[in-house]
Structure 1
Amino acid sequence: MNFTASQTVDGFQVSGVGLRGSFFGNMVPPGGFKIEVNATAEALNRQPLCILALPENEDPVGLSAISNASIQADNCLVHSNRDILTKDNAAIKAGTIQAFGTATGAGYAPAANNGALTLNDPFKGRNIRRGNACDNLNPIPKIIEAKDTQNLAAAVHKREIIVKDNATLLLRPGEHYFCQNLIMQGNSKVRGDNVVLIFDQKGTFTATDNSAISLTGRTGGGWAGFVIVASRNNEKDMEISSSSVDKLLGTIYVPEATLVINAAGSVAEASKWSVVVAKEIKLDLNARLVINTDYAGSGVPVPMGVGNSAGGDGPRLKQ
């Protein structure tokens, strides 16, 4: 039996052809038995996983960039478990771009691979919600305004927090569990090192206007390597509409929510590394998401399952 191997745009194909003699003096069947086998395997991808869209079956597009928006994710993998869409001069540049469905539009560098196998949610087994922690909520928002600076200790936050004008919110190290919204407006600032922001079912993170964001994820503990997380029953959009988001160092994990980035300017460019795992990821209005991969130089460990800790068992059989 003779075998041939060839590389396709998104994997490898092996074909085998063999001939076995026929019965009754080459009569049944005439010329002998011809045996053909074919197998296709997905390419072995050793690039770190940095963007993963996990849309539901009814959502055709997991990752989209429109209206001059762009993703710059050099040397890492951008993947959607459904389709990828670019239009209106949007662009996606990465080490590898691939979709389970189809990548439509232009601006891909390199060309996107279609028909990739789905990737599992790397954090599916994690317990996010804190039981009844958000019972008995305080309905009166906590408003930080003018030129105030507010230090916020790591805890369960039962009030909506609105930071506006030129105020500053300083998050102390630890796990900040938000039962309601954290909203940044005006020229406000939120800063925090060695922190993770976890949003319960009714909470979300919104940054609008010229609000400035500089967050570094947890360096230790059960949420080491994470910077923003939403519970699995949280389907609210996480919206970044500010052009002053210089640092989101760590993993953003919002498995049932949509991450919306829709303001002109670079997001996360000053981060040593970033990872985004979301149900859907939408970029619009000249937004530019920058994903760096300096994992060794950050001080924030990369969680198992993403980045350079993605692991994997090598090529997988597709057909």
Structure 2
Amino acid sequence: MRRAKLHAQLRGLARDKDGNFAILGAIAIVPIIAAVGVTLDFVGAYLEAEKIQAALDAAALGSVRAYGEGADETEASEAAKKFFWSNYAMPQESVLVEGGNLADTPTQGALSVAFTRNTIEDVAAAEFSFDYKPIFLERLPLAIRRQSVAARAANAEACILALHQTADRAFDVSGSAAVDLTGCTVISNSNDDQSIYVGGSGKLKAECLYAAGAIYGAAQSVELACDKAVEGASRVPDPFKNKVLPKAAAWVDLSGCGQDFISGGGGNGDCNGTGKTPKTNNEGYVVTLKPGTYQNLDVKRAVNLLPGNYIIDGGRLEFGAQATVTGERVTFFLVNGAEISINGGATFNISPSLEGDWAGFSIVAEHGNVETAIINGNSQSSLTGIVYLPDVAELQYAGNGATSGECIRLIAQEITLTGNSTFKMDCTTELADKGIYYPGAIRLVR
């Protein structure tokens, strides 16, 4: 009886179509739900990756700007972190993995930023990676890795960079000076109302003028290739502030040099190991000096400088009115408060080395040296290279006014041009591919 009843119930269930549909529907909905879950997981990961990308773009753009305006790599990296975490918040319960960088040297759980710089642009490359924990496939985290690269290209090349941020007439064309900077720009970081000043009967010809403050100059006194001078411009940081100067050594003994040739010399002795030197002026004789550390180098007559570094340690570099100085592949370094004064009557022909850490530099003063520098040339003189005096209070410069121009660049706190000068623009070779640039637009590379 019981067996027959059970068979009847089973036959009834088999004939019940509503029951079959419910079971089959329950079975079929499982993969549908799984597919929807996986789709939601991947959509969630995609949206998270887009948020990361936007934050990385902000980090790359912000940090390359900071780097281009003078921040070192550590400071620029901090700027990148600030921009990134201001624009991105980690999802709850996410698991950080190694934040890689483009050099494949990841830092655990951190944003990675790498910086590079060359003569034409600054570049910041930012990267961030982490495991996104999905809702449905929580045991199968989805790895997200995003990169962003931003570049700040150089704009106009500058011949003049006045670093002082508040000085009156940080760049000054004074008196009757006539200055031709065709193809080159002038940059002044001063926010003063006369940040750049061209007054009196002075005249200035340049590619363009960029001043953090305002510019004073009569229309007939200033000729520019650009549409108009730029006031309220961004400041340009010291482009060489992290370079390390060579160390001073024992002073060279000049007692054997002729007293009419080198101040402090006695003559009739060995002059810096380069030979016997007459005590007094001997027409046509030229003293030859070797590189080294000098307490003072006060040149009075004809002197030839052998290639290398000449370190002036606490004293004075001076070319007198009767001096004739020749030096190829030479760089002067002013350390421990050393001063420089080149008399207008002096004749000199100085060019820098094109090799080594200071390739392209002709005169360099260490940071902290605030002594006023005076460089005056005559029509037979030539000074090529970068004159880098970053903390010098004022550089007074008078070039030779030659129509062909000189490959020279000037950097100091304040710069006054007092004579007729012509600066040459195309100096890639003479300056060892070194340059000063006003920063251009920032863009995302990828």
Task: Please indicate the TM-score interval, normalised by the length of the shorter structure.
Answer: 0.7 to 0.9
Number of residue pairs the alignment of both structures matches? 258
Q: Does 1:295 align with 2:413?
A: no
1:199, 1:229 within 8 Å by CA — same for their partners in 2?
Answer: yes
CA distance in 2, matches of 1:102, 1:84: 7
CA distance in 2, matches of 1:209, 1:64: 19
1:138-194 alpha-carbon deviations (Å, 9 max, x no partner): 898435973442211111112x22222xx1121111111111212111221111111
Runs of 4+ in 1 over 6 A off after TM superposition: 134-140
Deviation at 1:254, TM superposition (A): 0.3
1:246, 1:267 within 8 Å by CA — same for their partners in 2?
Answer: no
CA distance in 2, matches of 1:282, 1:186: 21
Pick closer, same or farther for the CA change 1:54–1:299 going to 2, 3 Å: closer
2:210, 2:231 within 8 Å by CA — same for their partners in 1?
Answer: yes
Instruction: List runs of 5+ in structure 2 lacking aligned partners.
Output: 1-152, 256-262, 268-279
1:273-294 alpha-carbon deviations (Å, 9 max, x no partner): 221111111123xx02221022
2:154, 2:440 within 8 Å by CA — same for their partners in 1?
Answer: no
Match of 1:70 among 155, 178, 186: 178
Bigger radius of gyration: 2
CA distance in 2, matches of 1:247, 1:96: 25
Pick closer, same or farther for the CA change 1:245–1:230 going to 2, 3 Å: farther
Counterpart position of 1:174 = 308
The within-5 A match list for 1:138-153 is 141-143=263-265, 146=281, 147=283, 148-153=285-290
Please state which structure has a larger fraction of its residues in strand.
1
Counterpart position of 1:108 = 222
Match of 2:240 among 99, 123, 131: 123
Pick closer, same or farther for the CA change 1:157–1:206 going to 2, 3 Å: same
Instruction: List runs of 5+ in structure 1 lacking aligned partners.
Output: 1-43
Deviation at 1:200, TM superposition (A): 0.9
What TM-score does the superposition give when structure 1 sets the normalisation length? Answer: 0.72
Counterpart position of 1:261 = 397
1:78, 1:98 within 8 Å by CA — same for their partners in 2?
Answer: yes
Deviation at 1:212, TM superposition (A): 0.7
Pick closer, same or farther for the CA change 1:281–1:268 going to 2, 3 Å: farther
Counterpart position of 1:7 = none
1:111-153 alpha-carbon deviations (Å, 9 max, x no partner): 43211111111011112362xx368898984359734422111
- 1:49 is matched by which residue type in structure 2? A
Counterpart position of 1:314 = 441
Structure 1 vs Structure 2: percent identity of aligned residues? Answer: 22
1:206, 1:238 within 8 Å by CA — same for their partners in 2?
Answer: yes
Counterpart position of 1:96 = 208
1:242-280 alpha-carbon deviations (Å, 9 max, x no partner): 4246322111100011211258x5279553x22111111
Q: Does 1:157 align with 2:289?
A: no
1:249, 1:274 within 8 Å by CA — same for their partners in 2?
Answer: yes
Pick closer, same or farther for the CA change 1:209–1:75 going to 2, 3 Å: closer
